[in-house]
Amino acid sequence: MTAQEGHATAEQYYEVVTPSGKVHRPPEGRCWGISRATYDRLLREGRIYFGKKGDAQPNIIRYLSEVPGVAPWTWWPSSEVGHTDQSKKEIHALFGKTAAFESPKPESLMERILHIATNPGDLVLDSFLGSGTTAAVAHKMGRRYIGIEMGEHARTHCAPRLQKVIEGEKGGISEAVRWQGGGGFRFYRLGPPVFDEEGHIRQDIRFPVLAAHVWFSETDRPWDGSGDSPLLGIEGGRAHALLYNGILGDKRPGGGNVLTRATLALIREDIAKLAPGFDGPLTVYGEQSRLTPATLDRERITFKQTPYDVKARA
C-alpha cells in the first residue's frame, strides 16, 4: 500500500492501526499509495489485509477482475524453485565459501524457466553468465548453450563449474534430472576487435589478431599459431596463409604483403616443414597477387585480397 513520496500530498501520511493494535506509518522515503479517505472506505469494505496475525503493514486486497492487463496464472514458491539460501549452498558446495559467487541463482529456478521456454537440443543464450548456473542447468537438461561473461569469474567459476558438471557432480538439479555426467564445452577468449565501427579492418591490428580471425573464418576452429610465419596451418586437407604487416620481414609497402614467386616459395618451405609430402590446395590472403591466373590455377592456390575478402562473421 506504499508508494514513492516524490509527488505525495499531506493526505498520504497518516497512522494505520492494525486489528492487534500495532501502529504503522509509511517507511522512510515512502508514503501511503492512497489517501486517508480511500483507506477508511476500503477498511470498511474489508479490502485491507494485515497479515495472518493482524499486525502486518497493510496491503490492499484486489480481485482478478480489477487487475488491468494479464494477471499471472502461476505462482512459483521457493519450495519448488529454490531461494537465495539454497543457491548459496549450491555454490559453496562447488567452490567453498571463500570463493563463492555473490549472487547465484538456484538451479531449480533456471530448470523451471528452461523447461517452459525450451526443448531438448534448443540453444540457450546467457549474455551475463555470472557463476554459470544457466549453462550448468542447460547442460544437464540436454540443451545447447552459449554463455558470455566479461568478468574474471568466466575463468574462475564458469569453466570449472561446467567441468564439474561434465564429471557428474550431484548438486543442484542433478538428482531430479538423473544427471550422470558427460558431454563437453568450448571455452573461447574474445580477442581485440578486428573491425572498426564501419566494418573496416582497423589500421593498428597486429598480425596474430588478424591471423586468428582469418583462420577461424576459414576453419571454424581457434588458431594456436605463433605468428612467426605466413603459414597459419593446415586443416581439412587445405593449407592457409596470410601475408600481412611485413610478416616476411620486408617492411617496404606491399613487400611482405604481396604474393609473388618468392613469397610463395617461402610459404611452400613452411608447408614442407609442417607436413612433408603435402600436395593439397592453398588459400593465401594478401594485399595483392603478382602471379598470373594460370599460375594460381596450376598451383591450386585460392588468392583472397585483404582487406576486401576479410569478412566480419555475423
Whether 285 and 275 have beta carbons less than 8 Å apart is answered as no
| pLDDT at residue 68, as a whole number | 78
**Structure pTM?**
0.53
Strands 48-49 and 59-60: antiparallel
Whole-number pLDDT of residue 199: 73
| Helices (H), ranges, the chain | 36-44, 78-81, 84-95, 107-117, 133-140, 153, 159-166, 207-219, 261-274, 293-298
What CA–CA distance (Å, rounded) separates 96 from 157? 11
Task: Report the first-to-last Cα separation within the chain, whole angstroms.
Answer: 49
Count of Cβ atoms closer than 10 Å to residue 54 Cβ: 12
Q: Which CATH class for the 78-166 domain? A: alpha beta
The beta strand positions in the chain, using DSSP E, are 2-4, 16-17, 23-24, 30-32, 48-49, 59-60, 123-126, 144-147, 231-235, 238-242, 258-259, 282-286, 288-289, 301-305
pLDDT at 14: 95
Residue 44: per-residue pLDDT:
96
Identify the pLDDT of residue 261: 94
Q: What is the CA radius of gyration of the chain?
A: 32
Sign of the torsion angle spanned by Cα atoms 283, 287, 291, 294: positive
Cell numbers at 271, concatenated: 608447408
Alpha carbon distances (Å) from 1 to 27, 40, 70, 225, 279: 11, 13, 21, 64, 79
99 with 113: CB under 8 angstroms? no
Residues contacting residue 238 through CB under 8 Å, at least 6 positions apart: 218, 280, 281, 282, 283
- Given this model, what pLDDT does residue 72 score? 66
Confirm if 259 and 291 have CB atoms less than 8 A apart.
yes
Q: Which residues of 218-235 are buried (b: 16+ CB within 10 A; e: fewer)?
A: bbeeebebebebbbbbbe
**What is the pLDDT at residue 312?**
66
Contact (CB, 8 A) for 142 and 120:
yes
The burial class, CB within 10 Å (0-12 / 13-18 / 19+), for 152 is: exposed
Looking at residue 118, its pLDDT comes to: 95
Confidence (pLDDT) at 314: 46
User: Alpha-carbon distance 234 to 228, whole Å?
Assistant: 16
Task: State residue 290's pLDDT score.
Answer: 94
Look at residue 267 in the predicted model and tell me its pLDDT. 95
Q: Alpha-carbon distance 104 to 93, whole Å?
A: 13
Domain residue ranges of the chain, discontinuous segments joined by +: 2-66, 78-166, 207-305
Residues whose CB falls within 8 Å of the CB of residue 161, separated by 6 or more in sequence, listed in order: 94, 95, 131, 132, 135, 136
**pLDDT by position in tens, the chain (length 314):** 998 887 888 999 999 999 999 999 998 889 999 999 999 999 999 999 999 999 999 999 988 788 777 766 677 888 888 777 777 778 777 777 665 666 678 899 999 999 999 999 999 999 999 889 999 999 999 999 999 998 888 998 899 999 999 999 999 999 999 999 999 999 988 877 888 877 778 878 889 989 999 999 999 998 988 888 999 999 999 999 999 887 777 766 556 899 999 999 999 999 999 999 999 999 999 989 999 999 999 999 999 998 888 876 54
